[in-house]
Structure 1
Amino acid sequence: MSSASPAPAQQPPMVGEDRLSFAIFSLARAHRAYAAGLLRDLGLHPGQELLLMQLLDRDGQSQSELLNSVGLDHSTVSKSLRRMQEAGLLTREPAEHDRRVQLVRLTEQGRAMREPLRNMWATLEETSTKDLDAQEVETLVRLARKVENSMTERSRAQNSEG
């Protein structure tokens, strides 16, 4: 990896007993920083790997389909796709059935990212789980999904209220 990771965040005293959210924040920050370094080594920005993986699984998706599959906002996806197009990883073209719909297709250079991405993802997983046994990994994944679902449900409820 090309750069040093940030130091672990120190829990502010005001967090007190409510330390789960701070632990999640710290974990997400460390994971994202490490992943960003691995991605930089591949010439990618965070989030672009998710778009590439979606396209490697099913090339020729519309921008709307990609937007829905990666869970990022419209402006982030548009900016990422523009950068990736400029880097020669993909093309965007109007769909024949509806010229307003932009289809995103990988170039040869984009398709060549399959193995480097697979290796990067494996390195990220190996580093993330190095001190955990298989049961701890399964428990962490299950609990992370529960917390994610709780946060998503709460966000949806707040959005429907306002």
Structure 2
Amino acid sequence: MTSSTPEVGRTPAGAGREASVPVPAAASGGPISHAIFRLARLHRMLAGQLLRRIGLHPGQELVMMHLWELGAQRQTDLVRLLDSDAATMTRTVQRLEQAGFVRRRPSPTDRRASLIEPTAASHALRREVEESWSRLEELVTAGLSAGERTAALHTLERLEENLVQSAAEGEGSEP
């Protein structure tokens, strides 16, 4: 196994490859956090490239996945499901609506709310979204064995649990 202490400008694993974003000395206390930052940035960039081919931007496919699976949802429910904020969800839904992938209809149980539902055009898009996500998964996990994929998923889930717990405890808030 390689060293876990990064050198400036090297990958955290010390594999000898230049990092896509050099690791500044100030980040030396957080090599895993810096690696997550770089990984998330590259993942979003590749997802964006794949999704642009089918007329979506990153994040929009997640909204569509929930709508396809759950059916019509209130916008506030989408905010909660995707751990988003209201303003971002409003813009996302407006763009999906303009593209013809969702429509709004009044809620039958709450006059103040409207439901966001997938359109027939979006259902035709579903297979392409699924193919894009499968391709992204192939790119992310290229060269990993089944065991390494399982271990990576377990580690990522554990990191997420840690952050969720820290957020719930207010660890990231200002004093």
- Identify the match of residue 43 of structure 1 among 48, 51, 55: 55
Q: 1:40, CA displacement in angstroms?
A: 1.1
How many positions carry a matched residue from both structures? Answer: 156
TM-score, reference length from structure 2: 0.83
Q: Are residue 81 (structure 1) and residue 93 (structure 2) matched?
A: yes
Q: Are residue 9 (structure 1) and residue 21 (structure 2) matched?
A: yes
CA distance in 2, matches of 1:17, 1:106: 45
Q: 1:123, CA displacement in angstroms?
A: 0.2
- Identify the match of residue 37 of structure 2 among 6, 20, 25: 25
- Identify the match of residue 138 of structure 1 among 137, 141, 150: 150
Q: 1:47, CA displacement in angstroms?
A: 0.6
Q: Are residue 149 (structure 1) and residue 135 (structure 2) matched?
A: no
Q: Which has the higher contact order (CA 8 A, sep 6+)?
A: 1
SS in 1 for 2:169: helix
* Over 6 Å off, 4+ runs: 159-162
SS in 2 for 1:93: strand
CA distance in 2, matches of 1:93, 1:161: 41
Task: Structure 2: give runs of 5+ residues left out of the alignment.
Answer: 1-18
CA distance in 1, matches of 2:70, 2:39: 31
Q: Match for residue 62 of structure 1?
A: 74
Q: Match for residue 127 of structure 1?
A: 139
CA distance in 2, matches of 1:130, 1:43: 26
CA distance in 1, matches of 2:74, 2:123: 17
Q: Are residue 116 (structure 1) and residue 128 (structure 2) matched?
A: yes
Q: 1:17, CA displacement in angstroms?
A: 5.0
CA-atom RMSD in angstroms: 1.8
Task: Structure 1: give runs of 5+ residues left out of the alignment.
Answer: 1-6
Q: Match for residue 3 of structure 1?
A: none
Q: Which moved more, 1:97-106 or 1:116-125?
A: 97-106
Q: 1:16, CA displacement in angstroms?
A: 2.3
Q: 1:102, CA displacement in angstroms?
A: 1.4
